[in-house]
Amino acid sequence: MTRYLPTPPPNPPLEAVPFWEWCKKRELRFQQCANCGRCRHHPAPYCRFCLSPECVWVPAPDEAELFSYTVVHNAVSEELRPFVPYNIAIVAFPSLNVRLISNVIDLAPEELRIGMPLRLTWQECSDGTPLPLFLGKTVTP
């Protein structure tokens, strides 16, 4: 399989560093407020519900679902031009009530369906950073 997105991600903000450290171990984890228990993503320095700065990082399940998506037909950079059309997917983890922006890498745009089951996979970008991406073909509802 060819690399879906060739460029390394930009440097993350400080509160997102643990997210990427878990990704380097190929573990997708989300921040969970240690006070009220709600999960959040993108990482933030405090809970938007109860304002607690305390959090833990909880593992995400491998199974998720496609909440929404868009299909990019005009690449924003030369590096992405070979990959159009590609999708940008909002992937939901209902058990944690969080969503992640990612890509579904094994389906053509016309095969994507909102609500379809997805499975987490990992693919390293050019600097070796594993990115959490998603498969839709091999998942049975």
> Which residues form the interface with Zn ion (CB under 5 A)?
33, 35-36, 47, 49-50, 52
Minimum CB separation of residue 75 from Zn ion in Å reads 39
Specify the residue for token string 């399989």: 1
Considering the complex, state which of residue 33 and residue 100 has its C-beta at the smaller distance from Zn ion: 33
DSSP state of 66: E
Considering the complex, state which of residue 50 and residue 114 has its C-beta at the smaller distance from Zn ion: 50
Beta strands in 1-141 (DSSP E): 29-33, 39-40, 55-59, 63-72, 86-93, 98-102, 117-124, 130-135
Considering the complex, state which of residue 17 and residue 34 has its C-beta at the smaller distance from Zn ion: 34
Q: Is residue 97 classed as helix, strand or coil in its secondary structure? A: coil
Considering the complex, state which of residue 33 and residue 105 has its C-beta at the smaller distance from Zn ion: 33
Minimum CB separation of residue 33 from Zn ion in Å reads 3
User: Tokens representing 76?
Assistant: 């924003």
Minimum CB separation of residue 88 from Zn ion in Å reads 29
Q: Is-contact 8 127, C-beta < 8 A? A: yes
